[in-house]
């Protein structure tokens, strides 16, 4: 999905647009599977009881609340987090209801680094470290294909000079 053009300034083009790596969704998917399995198991256990209908409603309410909190919320957070590299800046946008964002102009970037663990290398993600004119380097975790992003960002910084 392309980044909305109305958020770009005149002459600015999107070079790269990423959401965080899909590994952020592993735990929410696991929670979903466990909750559904456990709810089905408990529903089967109480099916022979006279109060089974009330238990099923209670199980459904608890399951929906747990799935909503531990599966739906992380998915929406993942989907509404954007890491964008344009020809003029690096943008990070997060949130659906309460939004936050950060822009780093290419001219203010001093260095670009990446790091990833062996597990992150196998999954194809890592942490991008951008050192700008600010006091501390900014770290962006769970960037998919971090080495490619590093190269593209470095190229854009070099082209900006």
Instruction: Give the per-residue pLDDT at 159.
Output: 79
Q: Is 124 left (phi over 0), alpha (psi -120 to 50) or beta?
A: left
For the chain, the structural domain boundaries read 25-77, 84-160
* pLDDT at residue 3, as a whole number: 62
Sign of the Cα torsion 19, 142, 81, 12 reads: negative
Question: Tens of pLDDT along the chain (161 residues)?
Answer: 456 667 788 888 899 999 999 999 999 999 999 999 999 999 999 998 999 999 999 999 999 999 999 999 999 999 999 999 999 999 999 988 888 988 889 988 988 999 999 999 999 999 999 998 777 888 999 999 999 999 999 888 887 76
In CATH, which of 1.10.3470, 3.10.350, 2.30.29, 3.10.450 is domain 84-160?
2.30.29
Angle at CA of residue 133, ends 129 and 136, nearest 5°: 50
What is the pLDDT, as a whole number, of residue 2?
Answer: 55
Helix (H) or strand (E) run with residue 1 in it = none
Of the candidates 101, 97, 109, 98, the one whose C-alpha atom is nearest the C-alpha of residue 84 is 101
Spell out the residues 6+ positions from residue 136 whose beta carbon is closer than 8 angstroms to its own: none
């Amino acid at each position: 999905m392309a980044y909305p053009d109305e958020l770009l300034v005149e002459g600015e083009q999107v070079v790269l647009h990423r959401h965080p790596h899909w590994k952020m969704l592993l735990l929410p998917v696991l929670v979903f599977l466990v909750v559904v399995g456990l709810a089905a198991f408990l529903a089967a256990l109480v099916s022979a009881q006279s109060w089974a209908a009330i238990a099923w409603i209670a199980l459904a309410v608890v399951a929906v609340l747990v799935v909503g909190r531990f599966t739906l919320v992380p998915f929406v957070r993942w989907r509404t987090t954007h890491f964008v590299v344009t020809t003029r800046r690096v943008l990070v946008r997060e949130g659906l209801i309460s939004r936050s964002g950060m822009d780093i102009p290419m001219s203010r970037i001093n260095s670009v680094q990446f790091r990833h663990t062996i597990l992150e290398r196998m999954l194809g993600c890592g942490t991008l470290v951008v050192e700008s004119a600010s006091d501390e380097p900014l770290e962006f975790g769970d960037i998919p294909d971090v080495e490619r992003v590093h190269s593209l960002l470095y190229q854009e910084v070099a082209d900006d000079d």
